[in-house]
Copies of this chain bind each other. A is one copy, B any other.
């Protein structure tokens, strides 16, 4: 339960711990003085622990899409051949962005609700030579699918010299993503998901290969120029005025995460993902994602035949203070999504499921006979 009284079960912004919110309200400081140095340096180091990386890591005052743009424009040139592996709306967005910046993008699309098949990716790499980059979404927020990133990195390494750019916005800090161990070249995430901080900051890590690529990268860039970020980080600053309040909040949130321990954080997300899927299935609802690749940060639930998904969400919000997200793109109206990432507990999930259970009959849902909803209440 959020402090607003809302159980905010969208896949970001996620609820923030009170101590994080409290920290964000601290007074302003000189962003070019020692007070900011004492924020940005330890935060960057702690963030590298969450990324499980020793790579370069930059903090940008922008939402996640900004970090993705930074990843693209700092490593690529107009005309560069790019393979965009997409399993949903955010994969498409990543592809659109590279294209908007002049990349020659080939889309490798998988059915929404399924994961990218590494074998199919391998074949595509064989067919498309001279690829400069492969774009992939680690966790597809629009469908509740987690791609097998480890295998995808392997086939990319084996089948090409391409850089791998990873959208880890709704995965990093929630499910394992050992950036160095898996050898991901560019990894992007944002503050408002697993990091338990409000939206407005995003992050990009680059390994040495990606960093070298910047020298040849000719996509125009200014606000998202990472060499500028590097020059300023050497002075413990950012090139442009940073979002100071979110640095305050992030400092507290990172301490919480590292104190809980990343393994414990990952186990908690796995447990809550599992609980969500089981509970929702018990209500007689169908999940969009195939179980083998179901996300532990967000669950996409099919809106049952005859039910108005919009009315269900509205009822949940107004009558139960449970806020779920709708479907995006071609899934608009066809699914609703329950977020379970960041600062979330078992009780948050149980409460949300109880609300869904109560609301469903009010929007005309009749559960199939063998579902638990027909038999007993979810405790």
Binding site for B on A (CB under 8 A): 2-4, 6, 8, 10, 12-16, 21-22, 24-33, 61-66, 69, 78, 96-97, 100-102, 190, 192, 198-200, 219-225, 239-246, 317, 323, 325-326
On chain B, the residues within 8 Å of A61 by CB distance are 61-63, 66, 199-200
Q: Are A13 and B244 in touch, CB under 8 angstroms?
A: yes
Q: For residue A97, which residues in chain B have a CB less than 8 angstroms away from its CB?
A: 222-223
B33 touches A27 (CB 8 A): no
B222 touches A220 (CB 8 A): no
Q: How far is the CB of A138 from chain B (nearest CB, A)?
A: 17
**Which residues of B sit under 8 angstroms from A241, Cβ to Cβ?**
12-13, 63-65, 190, 192, 199
Q: Report yes or no: A6 in contact with B21, Cβ–Cβ below 8 A.
A: no
In the complex, A102 Cα to B200 Cα: how many Å?
A: 28
Chain B residue at minimal CB-CB distance from A328: B32
Q: A8-B30, A27-B16, A28-B8 are in contact. Are A96 and B222 (CB under 8 A)?
A: yes
Indicate the member of A10, A22, A24, A62 with the most B CB atoms within 10 Å.
A62
Question: Residue on B with the closest CB to A190?
Answer: B241
Chain B residue at minimum C-beta to C-beta distance from A98? B222
Given A198-B28, A241-B190, A220 contacting B101 (CB threshold 8 A): yes
- Given the contacts A2-B27, A223-B69, A242 and B21 also touching, CB distance less than 8 Å: no
User: Does B323 contact A30, Cβ atoms closer than 8 Å?
Assistant: yes
CB-CB < 8 A to A221: which residues of B? 100
Q: Are A29 and B12 in contact (CB under 8 A)?
A: no
Output the nearest chain B residue to A9 by Cβ-Cβ distance.
Answer: B30
Minimum Cβ distance to chain B for residue A351 (Å): 16
Q: Is the CB of B6 within 8 A of A245?
A: no
Using Cβ atoms and an 8 Å threshold, which residues of chain B touch A317?
A: 33
Chain B residue numbers with a CB within 8 Å of A69 are 222-223
Which residues on B sit within 8 Å (CB–CB) of A33? Answer: 317, 323
**8 chain-A/chain-B pairs, Cβ below 8 angstroms:** A3-B27, A6-B29, A12-B241, A61-B61, A63-B241, A97-B223, A220-B220, A243-B243
Given A6-B27, A13-B28, A243-B246, 18 more A-B residue pairs with CB atoms under 8 Å apart are A8-B29, A10-B30, A10-B32, A13-B244, A24-B245, A30-B325, A61-B61, A61-B62, A62-B62, A65-B222, A65-B240, A78-B220, A101-B220, A192-B241, A198-B244, A200-B200, A200-B243, A245-B246
| A360–chain B nearest beta-carbon distance, Å | 20
Question: CB distance B25 to A24 under 8 Å?
Answer: yes
Q: Report the nearest B residue to A169, measured CB to CB.
A: B241
Do A28 and B220 contact each other (CB < 8 Å), given the known contacts A64-B241, A243-B199?
no
Give the chain B neighbours of A28 by CB distance below 8 A: 2, 8, 13-16, 192, 198
Once A69-B222, A222-B100, A241-B190 are accepted as A-B contacts, the answer to whether A13 and B29 lie under 8 Å apart by CB is: yes
Chain B residues with Cβ below 8 Å from A325 are 30, 32
B100 engages A220 (CB within 8 Å): yes
Q: Closest approach, in angstroms, between the C-beta of A136 and any C-beta of chain B?
A: 18
Inter-chain contacts of A64 with B (CB < 8 A)? 240-241
